[in-house]
Every structure is written in structure tokens, then in C-alpha cells.
Structure 1
Amino acid sequence: MPGTGPQPPPPQQAYGAPPAYGVQPGPAPTSDEQLWGGAAHWTAFVASVVALAFLGPLIVMLTKGNESAYVRRQAVESLNFQLSILIYGLVSLALCLVLIGFVLLPAVGLLWLVCTIIGSVRGARGEEYRYPVTIRMVS
């Protein structure tokens, strides 16, 4: 009898990173949104000169976050990461008293540098980027 044989399996989803939780895919960001999305990440480098890397993403979020959902998502993500790194750095500094902090402090610094560069590049391309090991304090 036709049609009673084995059915082919349903198509598989493409491999790759799943979308971040709570992030709905929307229209592609405009070039201005991409610029500000990248700025939400790389302004952390500028603000790190005064040891307050969270100020850059905070300023982007407060100035351009209400104009674009994409820019707000990127600024909030970067702000949460910068605040998390600040906490990790302070804990590592305190742990220098028991010597483990001397290993953790450079590791935290390297994590900050690498992840902030990756976030800047992806934000400027218009891609969603979620930082690893981030405490989600701001939403």
C-alpha cells in the first residue's frame, strides 16, 4: 500500500549556537544601530582608562538604548559583563591574600580583554553576542 512505508525524518535545525534566551530575532539592525551596538562594547576600553569600564556601556544604554532595541540589548549585555568582571576582579584581588588571587587576577584580565574584543566585533557586525560567565544584574 503506498504511503505506509517508513517516513523520512523531519528536517534538522542547522548547527550553530542557539539564540540567546529572551532574545527575539527581529529585523536586521541598521548601520547606525550596528555602530552603536559595537560602541556599547568598545566604550568599555575607553572607560577602562579610569578603571570604570562599566561607564561606557552605561552611557550608550542611557543615550541610545531607548531608540533601538538592538542597541539596548548590546549595551545591557556589555554592562552586565563589565559589572561582573569588576566583581570577579575585586574577589581575585582579595584572594591575593591567600595567593590564589595572583593566578586569578591575570585570568580575569585576559577574559575581559578577549571577550570585550569579541563583543565589539560582533556588535559592529550586527550580531547578537552573549558574554560568558556573566551575572545578569541589569535587564
Structure 2
Amino acid sequence: MSDFEQQPPPVTETDGDTTTATGGISAEQRQWAMYAHLSALVGGVVTGGWAFSVGCFIGPLIIWMIKKDTMPFVDDQAKEALNFNLTVAAVFFVLLVLTLGTLGIGIVLTLPLGLIVGLAWLVLTIIAGIKANEGVAYRYPFAIRLVK
């Protein structure tokens, strides 16, 4: 018998629409999970930042709604991205209310906080997209889990 005949074929399982080696997450699922995280960046660019509370969670919401039943990894990561972006939107809303509630004087405090939160949002979103593309289930450190 040759070496080829002695080796059994790799065991495969079906994940969504593609087939992968056992224990792995399909490339398609990893890619959609990455899109779920990075779509928040696209939403922020498209809305120009003025509608942060809407633009940044629409992308993860759409991906979650479309892929939640067929791709478990995408379901998990899109929910994570959605929860994080809802949390950040709530923080920005509170900062806006504080700024307006103090008739603009509070901007001395809310502007630096907004910049720090915005920078953290950008960095964590990019890290999450990279990790999702590697097949790692990323958890944001400061997300309130609203969508379960």
C-alpha cells in the first residue's frame, strides 16, 4: 500500500455554506464576522460622525439579522459588535446631553472624554475585525450586552 492510501481523508463538517476541517471556522464565516465589526467604521464615515448613534450600529445590525441563523460565529461576533456600538453611542449621547445641559460650558470636560472614547472605539473596532478574521471570538472590554 502506498502512503497516500494509508492516510484517511480529513474529517470535514459543514459551517454555513462552506466546508472546513473539523474544529475550524470557515473562511466565509470569518470574513462576515470581520465585516460585522468593520461595518461600524463604514457607518461612521458615511454619516460623517454627526449621526454616530445611528450610523455605527446599522452595519452590525444588518449583518446580524441576515446571518444569525446560518452562521453561528457571525451571529456571536455581530451581536458583540452591535452591543459595543450601542454602548459607545449611549456614551456619546450622555456626553452630548452634558454639553447641552451646561449650556456649552461642559465641553471643557466632554470634548476630551469624547476624543478618548472615539479613539478607543476606533482602535478596539479594528482589533476586533482582525481577531474575527483570524477566527477568534473577540469580546470588547467595555460593552454592555444588550442584545443576547
> TM bucket by the smaller chain?
0.7 to 0.9
TM, length-normalised to structure 2: 0.73
Q: 1:44 corresponds to which residue?
A: 40
Q: 1:61 corresponds to which residue?
A: 64
Local SS of the residue matching 2:56 = coil
Q: 1:111 corresponds to which residue?
A: 120
Q: 1:134 corresponds to which residue?
A: 143
Residue identity in the other structure for 2:138:
Y
Identity across the alignment (%): 37
Q: Which runs of 5+ in 1 are unaligned?
A: 1-25
Residue identity in the other structure for 2:60:
P
- Given that 1:81 and 1:135 are in contact with CA atoms closer than 8 Å, whether structure 2 keeps it comes out as yes
Report the structure, 1 or 2, having the larger strand content.
2
Residue identity in the other structure for 2:96:
L
Alignment partner of 2:28 out of 16, 26, 32: 32
Separation (CA, whole Å) in 2 of partners of 1:59 and 1:27: 27
* CA offsets 1:39-98 (integer angstroms, 9 cap, x no match): 110111111222310000001101111111110000000000000000011112223332
Residue identity in the other structure for 1:67:
T
Q: 1:102 corresponds to which residue?
A: 111
Q: 1:92 corresponds to which residue?
A: 95
Shift of 1:119: 0.6
Q: Mean alpha-carbon deviation: is it higher for 31-40 or for 91-100?
A: 91-100
Q: 1:5 corresponds to which residue?
A: none
Work out whether 1:74 is the aligned partner of 2:77.
yes
Report the structure, 1 or 2, having the larger helix content.
2
Q: Which runs of 5+ in 2 are unaligned?
A: 1-21
TM, length-normalised to structure 1: 0.77
